[in-house]
Chain A
Amino acid sequence: MRIQCPFCGLRDWSEFSSLGDANARRPDGDAPAADFFDAVYLRGNPAGPHEELWYHAFGCRGWLRVARDTRTHEIFAVDMCGEVAAS
């Protein structure tokens, strides 16, 4: 599988490491423990499009937000995390 890093270009997936669900955001510091528990431990396992975080460990070290179909590995979109948040 190859991922189009916005900074480095199309790269083999072995340059990256994956963290999983991009929508499991860290709650604000004063949120209740239950919110933290959900964010840290609970994950869906969808068969289909999935937004997830990939770290370009052997490239620019950028964190990417990737929309990937978990059944076919087709990648629909790749954004740099910092940019997504800024927009």
Chain B
Amino acid sequence: MSTFLSGQPRRLKQGGLVDRGRPLSFSFDGKRYHGYVGDTLASALLANGVKLVGRSFKYHRPRGILTAGSEEPNALVELRAGARREPNTRATVVELFDGLEARSQNRWPSLTLDVGSINSMFSPLFVAGFYYKTFMWPAALWEKLYEPLIRRAAGLGRASGKVDPDHYEKAHAFCDVLVVGAGPAGLAASLAAGRSGARVILADEDFLLGGSLNGDRRRVGDLPGSKWARQVVAELESLPNARVMRRTTVFGAYDGNTFGAVERVSDHLPTPPPHQPRQRCWKIVAKRVVIAAGAIERPIVFGGNDRPGVMMASAARAYLHRHGVAVGERPVLFTASDDGWKTVLDLSRAGMDVRAIVDTRREISPMLSSAAKQARIPMLLDARVIATSGAHALNRVRVRRRDGGIEDIRADVLCVSGGWNPTIALTTHLGGRPRWSEALSAFFPDELPAAVVVGAARGSFTLAAALREGAEAGAEAARSTGHRTFAESVPEVDDELTGATPCWEVGGSKSKAFVDFQHDVTREDVALAAREGFSSVEHLKRYTTLGMGTDQGRTSNINGLAILASVTNRSIPEVGTTVFRPPYTPVSFGALAGLLRGKEFRPTRLTASHAWAAENGATFVEVGQWLRAQYFAQGGEDHWLQTVVREAKAVRQSVGVCDVSTLGKIDIQGADAATFLDRVYINTFSTLPVGKTRYGVMLREDGFVMDDGTTAHISPGHYVMSTTTVNAGKVMQHLEHARQVIWPELDVRIVSITEQWAQYAIAGPNARRLLERLLDDAIDISNAAFPYLACAEFSWRGIPARLFRVSFSGELAFELAVPARYGDATVRAIMAAGEAWNVVPYGTEALGVMRIEKGHVAGNELNGMTTAADLGFARMMSTKKDFIGRVLARRPGLVDADRPTLVGIKPVDRNERLHAGAHFLSIGAKAALANDQGYVTSVAFSPMLNHWIGLGLLARGPSRLGEHVRAYDPLRGGDTEVEIVSPVFFDPEGGRLKA
């Protein structure tokens, strides 16, 4: 009578923690299977007798499930379909749900018949580092053949390529005590801390808390371990000061006791419920941390150790106790530790026919040998497994006995136990260096401030120690955060044997012995690396790629460095170990991005006139985070150039309005405000009378131009500075630095008012007429009362307003500023007031055309590499005062006469178009860097001149007016002969300005 369920050949009729009342169906590689709530994909596959789950990365070897945890290197599957399809998911951590679809990876056309397995035949070519020695000749084949081939062969799994339909969140949490890991040590710690009233967060990557207790048959006190775990969790969940986070991996330790964690909110559901995120990324700030991350069982390196059916002994035990799955009917144990024996004794108790225990050690505890004898399990001590066989699943194990004789044992699963490695990853994220413990044959975590490691994670492998250390650490953490704890007795547990003598590798095997399963790194690769001089453990890792997979070498690092030690005749501590970086396990980009996706990646800043502009057909352009109206296409216009030319012509012929609110505005006040301005600008502002504005240029301390703008003296000691849009924040920082750090003795205060005021440029011959109609008698803006560069504060229709007579366009122009909340009403009022003169709205393009016509520099010229002299402002630099940048601006390299300086250019053939970015060469000079004489910075089609014009920086430019040079633009195929002219193309006397 079978002990197994019909329909699930390896599922025992009884046992396990799965919910047999809730069956599920799922598919793998298109075939339907059944499982239960509480299964992982791996346990359900094993229950259904599925042994082959994937093909290895390089050699395409058939692979099965090796572990029962997140350290799984082999069983990487593709989950779901369509836009939610995700590659490289460990089947061992996938929580099974009804309708789950999974597929194996890295095989074609199928898992059982994989063409890629031909790689195995060429394996001598594919040893570690092969790509450093191949694909080099002939060079011509690189682009056409090698690169495309490598691109197709490289990588593992396929991304969906579609937009992720789910959304993700980010959240913060704060606590007194963070406990990482909900195994026995973590549960004990959380309980002790939680009962004291401390704010506790307990996080575990699993969906069922309890860690090793769920994969074993240990008792805690008088309860089965898994039941004790459930009880503790229930108590914690009843405490208002404790937060239990399942399915939550603490993936990284960061400065300031901050931890990153990802909570898989809906991964175990077919789709997220309405309004729920798929995953949530947490930033947890904890006063104290207890790291109870457990330990990971170590494989043994021997020939054929990667065959499907070779599995970690503790995994086989977990599948038995947690899922009621007997992974094989005829198991064999290959062990170097006492722990492995527990597995086969449990399997035997469950009715499996254990064929042999192969222990590398010569002597073992009588308790173990008598238990094995009672179970009638043959023991081979001081013996080694040297090979396995079976096409896609294990069927035979070859053993070398103590006496040297070879024995073949028929077996369908080989449980391997090489000992335990404490999970120290989190303790190394901030530079902690693990230390080797000879007694444990393991790396020990480094001391950390504000964090303590307990249980198996610090090499205490008994359940009793885990409970005791956890409770002590939890209590201590609670006390040090100011809470009172109560003396509690730790539940009693049976003794256990935890002896182990490491066997890193088994020699004398002809078949490949794998160290890193995920990256197909063999024992021979480690030896090869050492032979080729890569004998540092860090070089070993990078040269062989050992430990560089998504499992971070959790089942391979120690074996690898131990073998390296042996082939280089060093001790393990001498070789040392590599350390880890976050994330502990892969984290999706979605979780890291949270809500910052697409348009929401950055804030969008809108001006007060945005709605009005949109109504009037504006096309918007991003300037920094702002949206500015670029141009306003009107009926019939089908090309932007058409629109822009119309706008510029309309402004120069009548009047136009442009929103200039985005330019930085800084309010500067104080008894020393004038002195302050003198120190930051190259020119003098202390002579600027009240009611006047002045153009200023600001340098960095290294002598290069930082920004330009106009500053208005509104009332005594009160100035308003304007900056360019993109540099507003930078200038603010610069001024605050000057004020607080360099000259803190000055009595001056500044504040940003960019967003507080809406500002509109009204420009053109009819600008005054429009404004007089708009402003009524609020202010006298006749040329006599309000000349060019005047400024004033006044009240208009009951609101405060400011008027500046500055002009970027070169026309008669004013800039009207109102508090931003009146901005929309004001722009509409401007348009209404200007109807009589056909006022047009104009955008940044027309603004740019007009300023280029007037030779005004802007962002393209203020590119951080130009000096004041380059831009024609040499005479503005005061010699009578100190200002930022004054000294270094006089460096020989910055005053060199040969420097590219500002000029205007016109195409010699007036029909030709100009491109910004073209470089200047003398006619006839070879197009080489040595002959480079400068470059074109800005271009525009000039409606006034009816051809393209440009501004540029040309070596000794101003002395070469009239000369012809070549504007060479190889990137876009441009090569134009241009004439060097003055940068002021239109109204050079400035008469229109001063009207």
Chain B contacts for A73, CB-based, 8 A: 255-256
CB-based contact B888/A33 at 8 Å: yes
Chain A contacts for B864, CB-based, 8 A: none
CB-based contact B887/A36 at 8 Å: yes
Contact among B256, B740, B742, B882 for A1, CB-based, below 8 A: B256
Contact with A along B878-891 (1 / 0, CB 8 A): 00001010111011
CB-based contact A17/B733 at 8 Å: yes
A74 to chain B minimum Cβ distance, whole angstroms, is: 8
CB-based contact A57/B888 at 8 Å: no
Contact with A along B405-433 (1 / 0, CB 8 A): 00000000000000000000000001100
CB-based contact B882/A55 at 8 Å: no
Chain B contacts for A26, CB-based, 8 A: 701, 742, 884
Contact among A55, A72, A86 for B736, CB-based, below 8 A: A55
Chain B contacts for A85, CB-based, 8 A: 741, 744-745
Chain B contacts for A40, CB-based, 8 A: 701-702, 888
CB-based contact A61/B255 at 8 Å: no
B738: nearest chain-A partner, CB-CB: A26
CB-based contact A33/B887 at 8 Å: yes
Docked CA distance A61–B666 (Å): 13
B528 to chain A minimum Cβ distance, whole angstroms, is: 36
Chain B contacts for A19, CB-based, 8 A: 737
CB-based contact B741/A53 at 8 Å: yes
B729 CB within 8 Å of chain A: yes
A29 CB within 8 Å of chain B: yes
Chain B contacts for A55, CB-based, 8 A: 733, 736-737
B732 CB within 8 Å of chain A: yes
A43 CB within 8 Å of chain B: no
CB-based contact B887/A61 at 8 Å: no
CB-based contact B888/A2 at 8 Å: no
User: Which residues between 175 and 210 of chain B lie within 8 Å of chain A, taking CB atoms?
Assistant: none
CB-based contact A36/B701 at 8 Å: yes
CB-based contact B741/A81 at 8 Å: yes
A82 CB within 8 Å of chain B: yes
CB-based contact A82/B744 at 8 Å: yes
Docked CA distance A36–B889 (Å): 11
B729: nearest chain-A partner, CB-CB: A57
Chain B contacts for A37, CB-based, 8 A: 888
- The size bracket of the interface on A is 20 to 34
CB-based contact B736/A61 at 8 Å: yes
A41: nearest chain-B partner, CB-CB: B702
Contact with B along A1-33 (1 / 0, CB 8 A): 110000000000000010100000010011101
User: Which residues between 832 and 891 of chain B lie within 8 Å of chain A, taking CB atoms?
Assistant: 882, 884, 886-888, 890-891
B446 to chain A minimum Cβ distance, whole angstroms, is: 13
Chain B contacts for A86, CB-based, 8 A: 744
CB-based contact A2/B256 at 8 Å: yes
CB-based contact A57/B256 at 8 Å: no
CB-based contact B882/A29 at 8 Å: yes
B490 to chain A minimum Cβ distance, whole angstroms, is: 35
CB-based contact B733/A82 at 8 Å: no
Chain B contacts for A63, CB-based, 8 A: 736-737, 740-741
Chain A contacts for B737, CB-based, 8 A: 19, 53, 55, 63
Docked CA distance A72–B532 (Å): 36
Docked CA distance A71–B433 (Å): 14
CB-based contact B888/A36 at 8 Å: yes
User: Which residues between 80 and 128 of chain B lie within 8 Å of chain A, taking CB atoms?
Assistant: none
Chain B contacts for A62, CB-based, 8 A: 736, 740
A35 to chain B minimum Cβ distance, whole angstroms, is: 8
A14 to chain B minimum Cβ distance, whole angstroms, is: 11
Given contacts A29-B882, A33-B887, A40-B701, is CB(A57)–CB(B733) below 8 Å? yes
Chain A contacts for B430, CB-based, 8 A: 72
CB-based contact B882/A61 at 8 Å: no
Docked CA distance A76–B740 (Å): 21
Chain A contacts for B888, CB-based, 8 A: 33, 36-37, 40
Docked CA distance A19–B255 (Å): 20
CB-based contact A81/B744 at 8 Å: yes
Given contacts A40-B888, A57-B733, is CB(A81)–CB(B255) below 8 Å? no
A56 to chain B minimum Cβ distance, whole angstroms, is: 9
B883: nearest chain-A partner, CB-CB: A29
Docked CA distance A38–B869 (Å): 23
Contact among A29, A33, A80 for B890, CB-based, below 8 A: A33
Docked CA distance A1–B283 (Å): 12
A64: nearest chain-B partner, CB-CB: B740
Chain A contacts for B884, CB-based, 8 A: 26
Docked CA distance A56–B891 (Å): 33
Docked CA distance A17–B732 (Å): 13
Chain A contacts for B890, CB-based, 8 A: 33
Docked CA distance A11–B49 (Å): 55
Chain A contacts for B729, CB-based, 8 A: 57
B745: nearest chain-A partner, CB-CB: A85
A62: nearest chain-B partner, CB-CB: B740
A75 to chain B minimum Cβ distance, whole angstroms, is: 9
B843 to chain A minimum Cβ distance, whole angstroms, is: 30
CB-based contact B886/A29 at 8 Å: yes
* Residue among B256, B740, B742 with the highest chain A CB neighbour number at 10 A: B740
A23 to chain B minimum Cβ distance, whole angstroms, is: 11
A66 to chain B minimum Cβ distance, whole angstroms, is: 13
Contact with B along A45-72 (1 / 0, CB 8 A): 0000000010101000111000000011
Contact among A61, A71, A72, A81 for B732, CB-based, below 8 A: A61
B581 to chain A minimum Cβ distance, whole angstroms, is: 16
Contact with A along B716-760 (1 / 0, CB 8 A): 000000000000010011001100111011000000000000000
Docked CA distance A1–B285 (Å): 10
CB-based contact B736/A1 at 8 Å: no
Chain B contacts for A2, CB-based, 8 A: 256
Docked CA distance A26–B700 (Å): 12
B881: nearest chain-A partner, CB-CB: A29
A39: nearest chain-B partner, CB-CB: B701
Docked CA distance A55–B888 (Å): 24
Spell out A's residues near B (CB within 8 Å).
1-2, 17, 19, 26, 29-31, 33, 36-37, 39-41, 53, 55, 57, 61-63, 71-73, 80-82, 85-86
Q: List 18 A-B contacts (CB under 8 A).
A: A1-B256, A26-B742, A29-B886, A33-B887, A33-B890, A33-B891, A36-B887, A40-B701, A40-B702, A40-B888, A53-B737, A55-B736, A57-B733, A61-B736, A63-B736, A63-B741, A81-B741, A85-B745
Spell out B's residues near A (CB within 8 Å).
255-256, 430-431, 701-702, 729, 732-733, 736-737, 740-742, 744-745, 882, 884, 886-888, 890-891
3 A-B pairs with the lowest CB-CB distances in the bound complex, closest first: A29-B882, A85-B744, A73-B255
Besides A55-B733, A63-B736, 4 other A-B contacts (C-beta < 8 A)? A26-B742, A33-B888, A55-B737, A85-B744
